[in-house]
């Protein structure tokens, strides 16, 4: 295969993907086993549910316990364990927690239930945050007073930059996320300064992306290439980017297992602060308990594999998850549990 | 979470569109698109079309998804 040929003269190569959908696709298709031994595919922090800190879950749980609140959330947040509970447990105990497919559904719920306060959990990278921004603009136009967003949105390129600088990991190239790139385009990856290829999610897309990275490494080039031209344009999606600039402002953000990264998160801008759940509701101080034995942090950085975790597939399973990486449909541990045990 | 599937625009109503893929039909928002028309294939994520897709590319992707 072409990858074998191009990789012949190279030393050990570490390629990281930072998109949960890539993690799943790689595990499901068995791509790792098809590659030469010295090409290592590392799963990075590509799952926005997994990189949300435990304190975010604890606060979401606290919001759900407030009177007259409907907590609206994407499905994979439901089972993520907080310090003492999860949203699924809170729902079982009588809290009004609704799973929605889109933030627009949460706006609909708020419109139809004016006596309730709807708080939407804004989790996701740049593919999702514009959909939340657009929904907030709709709520603004409808003059809704009972719709709020608790933003935990994050931006991927700052995390990629941090990972490159980390000597424990030693990344030589990135497989860049497909639909995040449809929004942000190719420009934000240039500042990372290592080979980057944006690749689609099909196994053939990913293999072609890996080939393009190996070709760059073999020729000593460093550039940003786009394998997913059928969707991704260099300039990204201007309408989505303009909405993000209007509705959100960039701030420092806490990433599970990584710590606080500067300018890597999104909070509602001043113009839309009336929709910010953290501005509207004042919760008592919450004490977040540290993880017991869960090594999600090391897994998210690609330093350890799920099989190296003492809890994996024993105490920690999809039915009884100990950390976010096992719960989320795109978590590295969930992928390994499903396809690589 | 990033998984988006190609769906075909059947009807446009202002900033909303009815899209379908096989037997699934959905009403989504098309705020991020410019010049969309009936018959366009779009990638749908969390209730929004995030980008348009080349029709030939879309059929190939749908064929792969049907075989799963």
Average pLDDT of adjacent 10-residue blocks, chain A of 341 residues: 80 91 88 89 90 94 97 93 94 97 97 98 97 98 98 96 89 95 96 95 90 94 91 93 98 91 97 98 90 84 89 90 81 87 68
User: Does residue B2 sit at the A interface (CB-CB below 8 Å)?
Assistant: yes
- What pLDDT is stored for residue B67 in this prediction? 56
- Does A152 touch chain B if contact means CB atoms closer than 8 Å? no
Residues A132 and A185 in one domain: yes
What SS3 class is residue B25?
strand
Percent of the residues in chain B that have a pLDDT greater than 70, as a whole number? 76
| Cα–Cα distance measured from residue B53 to residue B56, given in angstroms and rounded to the nearest whole number | 9
Confidence of residue B68 (pLDDT cuts 50, 70, 90): very low
CA separation for the pair A307, A33 (Å, rounded): 16
How many contacts does A have with B, using Cβ atoms within 8 A?
87
Residues of chain A neighbouring B54 (CB-CB closer than 8 A): 230
How close A203 gets to chain B, by Cα (Å)? 11
A89: domain CATH number is 3.40.50.11740
Is residue A253 domain-shared with residue A307, that is, in the same domain? no
Residues of B in contact with A103 (CB under 8 A): 46-47
Residue B25: strand pairing partners: B20
Closest B-chain CA to A29: B68
Q: How far apart are CA A316 and CA A311, in angstroms?
A: 5
Same domain, A65 and A101: yes
Tell me which of B32, B49, B56 to substitute to probe the interface with A (most A C-beta atoms closer than 10 Å).
B32
State whether A288 and A314 are in the same domain.
Answer: no
Within 17-36 of B, beta carbons closer than 8 Å to A belong to 29, 31-34
Closest Cβ–Cβ partner in A178, A232, A237 for B32 = A237
d(CA A86, CA A49): 13
Instruction: Give me the residues of A, 8-37, that contact B with CB < 8 A.
Output: 19-21
Q: Assess contact for A186 and A197: CB atoms under 8 A.
A: no
Number of domains in chain A: 2
Minimum-distance CB partner of B50 among A104, A183, A330 = A183
Q: Are residues A33 and A57 in the same domain?
A: yes
- Give chain B positions within 8 Å (CB) of A131: 29, 45-48, 50
3-state secondary structure A162-220: HHHHCCCCCCCEEEECHHHHHHHCCHHHHHHCCCEEECCCCHHHHHHHHHHHHHHHHHC
The complex's ipTM?
Answer: 0.89
B1 and A177: CB-CB below 8 Å? no
Residues linked to residue A40 through DSSP beta bridges, in sequence order: A14
Q: Which residues of B touch A20 (CB under 8 A)?
A: 1-2
Q: Return the SS3 of A300.
A: helix
Are residues A332 and A197 part of one domain? no
Cα separation, A50 vs B10, whole angstroms: 36
Let me know whether A281 and A327 are in one domain.
no
Are the C-beta atoms of A103 and A120 separated by less than 8 Å? Answer: yes
Measured N-to-C along each axis, helices A129-141 and A103-112 cross at an angle, to the nearest 10 degrees, of: 20
**pLDDT given for residue A292 in this prediction:** 81
The confidence score (pLDDT) of residue A84 equals 92
User: A47 vs B46: CB contact, 8 Å cut-off?
Assistant: no
The pLDDT of residue B3: 67
Q: A196 and A249: one domain?
A: yes
pLDDT computed for residue A183 by the predictor:
96
Instruction: State residue A252's pLDDT score.
Output: 97
pLDDT score for A17: 93
Same domain, A316 and A250: no
Which residues does chain B have within 8 Å of residue A239's beta carbon, measured at their own beta carbons? 31-34
Nearest beta carbon to residue A330 from set B1, B4, B33: B1
Query: Are residues A194 and A309 both part of a single domain?
Result: no
CB contacts of A179 in chain B (<8 Å) are 2, 4, 43, 45, 50
Four-CA torsion B26, A200, A222, A261, nearest 10 degrees: 50
Task: Give me the residue from B4, B46, B50 closest to A101, CB to CB.
Answer: B46
Distance CA A26, CA A229 (A): 20
Q: Are residues A226 and A308 in the same domain?
A: no
Is the same domain home to A221 and A321?
A: no
pLDDT bracket for residue B62 (50, 70, 90): low
Domains assigned to chain B: 5-67 (2.30.30.140)
Q: Which domain holds residue A309?
A: 296-339
Considering only CB atoms, which chain B residues are within 8 Å of A134? 29, 31-32, 48
């Amino acid at each position: 295969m072409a990858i074998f040929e191009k990789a012949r003269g190279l030393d050990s190569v570490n390629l990281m993907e930072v998109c949960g959908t890539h993690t799943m696709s790689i595990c499901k298709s068995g791509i790792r086993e098809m590659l030469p031994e010295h090409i290592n595919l590392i799963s990075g922090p590509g799952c926005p549910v997994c990189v949300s800190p435990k304190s975010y879950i604890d606060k979401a749980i606290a919001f759900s316990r407030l009177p007259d609140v409907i907590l609206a959330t994407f499905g994979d947040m439901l089972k993520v364990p907080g310090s003492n509970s999860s949203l699924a447990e809170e729902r079982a105990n009588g809290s009004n927690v609704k799973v929605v497919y889109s933030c627009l559904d949460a706006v609909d719920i708020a419109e139809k239930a004016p006596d309730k306060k709807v708080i939407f959990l804004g989790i996701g990278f740049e593919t999702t945050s514009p959909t939340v921004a657009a929904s907030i603009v709709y709520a603004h136009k409808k003059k809704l007073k009972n719709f709020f967003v608790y933003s935990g949105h994050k931006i991927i390129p700052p995390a990629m930059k941090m990972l490159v600088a980390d000597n424990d990991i030693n990344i030589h190239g990135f497989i860049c996320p497909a639909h995040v790139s449809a929004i942000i385009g190719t420009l934000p990856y240039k500042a990372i300064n290592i080979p980057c290829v944006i690749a689609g999610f099909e196994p053939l897309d990913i293999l072609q992306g890996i080939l393009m990275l190996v070709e760059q490494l073999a020729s000593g080039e460093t550039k940003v290439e786009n394998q997913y031209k059928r969707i991704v344009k260099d300039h990204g999606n201007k309408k989505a980017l303009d909405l993000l600039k209007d509705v959100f402002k960039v701030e420092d953000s806490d990433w599970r297992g990584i710590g606080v990264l500067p300018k890597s998160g999104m909070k509602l801008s001043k113009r839309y602060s009336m929709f910010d759940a953290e501005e509207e509701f004042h919760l008592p101080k919450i004490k977040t308990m540290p993880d017991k034995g869960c090594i999600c942090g090391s897994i998210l950085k690609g330093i350890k594999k799920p099989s190296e975790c003492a809890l994996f597939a024993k105490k920690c399973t999809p039915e009884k998850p100990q950390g976010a990486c096992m719960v989320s449909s795109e978590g590295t541990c969930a992928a390994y549990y499903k396809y690589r045990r | 979470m990033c998984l988006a599937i190609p769906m075909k625009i059947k009807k446009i109503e202002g900033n909303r569109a009815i899209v379908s893929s096989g037997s699934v039909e959905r009403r989504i928002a098309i705020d991020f698109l410019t010049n969309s028309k009936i018959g366009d294939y779009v990638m749908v994520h969390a209730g929004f079309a995030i980008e348009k897709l080349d029709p030939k590319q879309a059929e190939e992707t749908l064929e792969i998804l049907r075989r799963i």
